Structure 1
Amino acid sequence: MLHMIKLAVGCPTLEVLAERMRRERVGGHAVVHTRTMPRRADEILAGGSIYRVMDGMLLCRQPIIGLESCQRGDGSTGTLIVVSDEIIPVQPRAMRPFQGWRYMTPKDAPADLGENGVGDGIADLPPALRRELAELALI
């Protein structure tokens, strides 16, 4: 299994991401647009998630359902990353901006908030406070 990391450009909060996911649908599922098909698609489709970076913080993940080729507005080919509607908050982690997407192994992935006591109670904090605490390396 393998995960992906991608910036959620223009999404400062999980609520804004959720609204975007409700608008951009293909075949009844939320999608994330990207230019290229991952070479390690089989590993991603074996249970991977897409982790989202918002304003310099890795804040959530969405399980990946599928990968589909598509035609972009300019006529070039692209890829749709088909994701679950479920947005799962994770233990926040600072991350520098990058272009495209990156692979991430399960051992490097942050834990889901509230999972097995990890971040117990942190998920109940307002997102802005979670971000501030993470930036101060307090969570």
Structure 2
Amino acid sequence: MDKTVNLIKLSVGTESVEDLARWHQTRRAQAEDGLPRHVTRMWPKRQAEILNGGSIFWVIKGLVQCRQRVLRLDEVIGSDGIRRCAIVLDPQLHRTQSVLKRPFQGWRYLAPEDAPPDLPESRENDDALPVELNRALAEIGVI
């Protein structure tokens, strides 16, 4: 199987890519191996395609702004006895071109051809634009 699919998820309560990076460094967001993870109730049916080079694209303040490569999916049993999926992530965040995204619940699949491209490495460390300016530029298709 050589198909790949990505996930897309709202990063609720996150103000910036840097804010997401800080969250991923907290003990609460990490697995025992120190890798960041996102625990979700639903287990992806397209697991093999996700694990074949897929990433999770993060929507921050209404814009897709970055992605992280998915390393594996771990089973987690909550204190309530319910089986959940821990999406274990590469700690490196890759900034992407900003793309508007309306709110949605949970995660969704994102085809590679629909995923925004990564920013060139030369722009990875640029100062982040103010949210309003970033959104306005995305609305007119400049970034």
RMSD (Å), alpha carbons: 1.8
Pairing partner for 2:52 from 31, 34, 46: 46
CA distance in structure 1 between the partners assigned to 2:100 and 2:129 by the alignment = 14
Figure out how many residues of one structure are paired with residues of the other and give that number.
135
SS at match of 2:80: coil
Relative to the length of structure 1, the TM-score reads 0.88
For residues 78-137 of structure 1, the C-alpha deviation after alignment (integer angstroms, 9 at most, x for no partner) is 11000011010001000011111110111111100016xxxx758624242544422443
Letter of the structure 2 residue corresponding to residue 25 of structure 1: Q
- Superposed counterparts of 1:1-139, under 5 Å: 1-23=4-26, 24-26=29-31, 27-114=33-120, 121=123, 124-128=126-130, 129-139=133-143
Q: Bigger shift: 65-74 or 44-53?
A: 65-74
What are the ranges of 5 or more consecutive residues in structure 1 without an aligned counterpart? none
Aligned-pair identity in percent equals 39
Structure 1's 123 and 113: CA in aligned 2 closer, same or farther, altered over 3 A?
Answer: farther
User: Are the aligned partners of 2:94 and 2:124 in contact in 1 as well (CA < 8 Å)?
Assistant: no
- Unaligned residue ranges in structure 2 (runs of 5+): none
Q: d(CA) in 1 for partners of 2:30 and 2:10?
A: 19
| Change in 2 beyond 3 A, CA 1:90/1:123 | farther
SS in 2 for 1:19: helix
Asked whether the equivalents of residues 38 and 86 of structure 2 are also in contact (C-alpha less than 8 Å), the reply is yes
Runs (4+) of structure 1 exceeding 4 A deviation are 120-123
1:137 counterpart letter in structure 2:
G
In the superposition, the TM-score normalised over structure 2's length comes to 0.86
Q: Quick one: distance in 2 between partners of 1:112 and 1:61?
A: 8
